[in-house]
Amino acid sequence: MASDGPDHPTPAEPADETFRLHPLTPLALGGRILGALVVLTLFSLAGSKAGQGGGINVTTLAIYGGAAVLLVIRGVIMVAVTRYHLHGGELRIDSGLLAKQSKRVRLNRAQSVDVLQPLAARIFGLAEVKVTTAGTERSSVRLRYLSLPVAQSLRADLLSRSKGGEQGAPEAPERPVVSVPRGQLVRSVLLEMVSWRLLLLLVGPALAVSGHRNGHGAAAGVGVALILWFGLLVVTDIWRRISRLWDYTVTESPDGLRIRHGLLSTSRQTVPPGRIQAILIHQPVAWRLFGWAQVRMNVAGYAGNANSKSTMLLPVADLDYTMALVGWLLGGVDIAAVPLERPPRRAAARAPLWWRAQLAGSDEHVLVARHGLFSRTIDIVPHERTQSVRLTAGPWQRALGLATVHLDSTRGPVRTRAANRDQALARAMLDRQVERAHRARLRAWEPTVSPPR
């Protein structure tokens, strides 16, 4: 593996590597702040020229320049006092100027190794290697920053060592699975905006027109402000989603699924085999006319925010393809063939509009729950990934003889439940799920089919 610093060992040395961060790390770490300082300086210069015939506000420039210098000095110190050591199956991070710290990570505990490129780092050709060990953001170790080739080489090395493989192993080969067309991505994001955001956006014009007709200047002003505010929110949300999911590609490798995406800031995520705990297929109401859906997942190692981009498996595709893709990931399961049942008719007293849409059922491999009247969602949990099963019933449910079966998984967007079942049938479903989960863990059940095309 190549190195960015002077401490890189020669090939003749034993497999114990010590390396430092890239020398340009201070600029990448302070990229946003330095960029803001440059913009503010330009505005200050422009204002000075317009108001004082080209004079420069020396005090303002001194403040901005001093802040920039302090930022760079902080980054230089961090680079100078931080070292990373790779020794066999262990990664050690030594840091600290006055108070020394040393953190050790056992690579056989690593749950994911990702390569991230924020915009500021991408400008300088740098990347971050993120190693997650215990399933939370707080437990992750970030190596910021290395050159992109070194980061990719290090990721391959860490993944190999985490499985007990050879040190310095090259990047494993990969095979394309799916790539989201840019046009479909843009259309899907725009269609998804046909929701409460646009409904709220209509409130502003209504207030503005009403205030203008009735002579209420305050109401008209509030309406104009709402138009600008909600319009900015919608445009910002559209840009954020498109730039984050741009060029979304999924490939298959011996390391697991590799997911790449991003327009300005890019991300290269690797989901190791067996880390996917539960899967969700979601159809927003605006997508149903086009037959589109997205796939999200609960992944061991990404137990942070349930809306985190790391839980996305496929942002948009045809519903038939998403069903086939999920079936392939789960070892060749036909999701559409799993028998589903509705709650009893008396469930209408508790959920009068959507009780018919609360379907649930299982086969020998997975439990499937479908819910949603307008926007539809299908939750799929492999039996061997079931962490716990529980039965709940509130006072109104108990009066109706109903109960809800919950399947607990790792934290994420998938929260599987069979709502408003008959109490006796709910108890039978719980017992059956416990038995199937026990049997599934005893089997070595691995995917044996090719991904859908």
What's the 3-state SS for the chain? Answer: CCCCCCCCCCCCCCCEEEECCCCCHHHHHCHHHHHHHHHHHHHHHHHHHHHHCCCCCHHHHHHHHHHHHHHHHHHHHHHHHCEEEEECCEEEEEECCCCCEEEEEEHHHCCEEEEEECHHHHHCCEEEEEEECCCCHHHCEEEEEEEHHHHHHHHHHHHHHHCCCCCCCCCCCCEEEEECCHHHHHHHHHHHCCCHHHHHHHHHHHHHHHHHHHCCHHHHHHHHHHHHHHHHHHHHHHHHHHHHHCCCEEEEECCEEEEEECCCCEEEEEECCCCEEEEEEEECHHHHHHCEEEEEEEECCCCCCCCCHHHEEEEEEEHHHHHHHHHHHCCCCCHHHCCCECCCHHHHHCCCCCHHHCEEEECCCEEEEEECCCCEEEEEEEHHHCCEEEEECCHHHHHHCEEEEEEECCCCCCCEEEEEEEHHHHHHHHHHHHHHHHHHHHCCCCCCCCCCC
The last residue of a domain, from among 244, 268, 292: 268
- 442 — pLDDT class (breaks 50, 70, 90): confident
318 shares a domain with 262: no
366 shares a domain with 251: no
293 shares a domain with 180: no
Identify whether 31 is part of a domain: no
336 shares a domain with 190: no
425 shares a domain with 398: yes
The last residue of a domain, from among 215, 247, 268: 268
Q: What is the pLDDT of residue 381?
A: 96
435 shares a domain with 302: yes
414 shares a domain with 286: yes
Identify whether 200 is part of a domain: yes
The last residue of a domain, from among 209, 242, 268: 268
Is the pLDDT confidence value at 10 over 70? no
Mean pLDDT across 231-255:
90
Q: What is the pLDDT of residue 306?
A: 41
279 shares a domain with 426: yes
398 shares a domain with 289: yes
Lowest-pLDDT range of 83-87, 320-324, 444-448: 444-448
Tally of structural domains, the chain: 2
Lowest-pLDDT range of 33-37, 215-219, 231-235, 383-387: 215-219
- 272 — pLDDT class (breaks 50, 70, 90): confident
pLDDT in tens, 173-207: 899 999 999 999 999 998 887 665 565 556 556 55
Identify whether 263 is part of a domain: yes
Q: What is the pLDDT of residue 132?
A: 82
Identify whether 89 is part of a domain: no
> Contact at 8 Å (CB) between 386 and 407?
yes
pLDDT in tens, 300-331: 766 544 445 578 999 999 999 999 999 999 98
407 shares a domain with 329: yes
pLDDT in tens, 61-82: 677 677 777 878 888 888 888 8
Q: What count of other Cβ atoms lies within 10 Å of the Cβ of residue 397?
A: 20
Identify whether 75 is part of a domain: no
Is the pLDDT confidence value at 129 over 70? yes
288 shares a domain with 237: no
Identify whether 210 is part of a domain: yes
Identify whether 348 is part of a domain: yes
The pLDDT mean for the chain works out to 83
Domain that holds residue 235: 172-268
Instruction: Name the residue with tokens 């989960």.
Output: 437
pLDDT in tens, 333-365: 999 999 999 999 999 999 998 999 999 999 999
259 shares a domain with 287: no
Q: What is the pLDDT of residue 391?
A: 96
Calpha distance 344→384 (Å, rounded):
29
The residues, any chain, with a CB within 8 Å of residue 151's CB and separated by 6 or more, are 115, 126, 127, 128, 129, 143, 145
- 172 — pLDDT class (breaks 50, 70, 90): confident
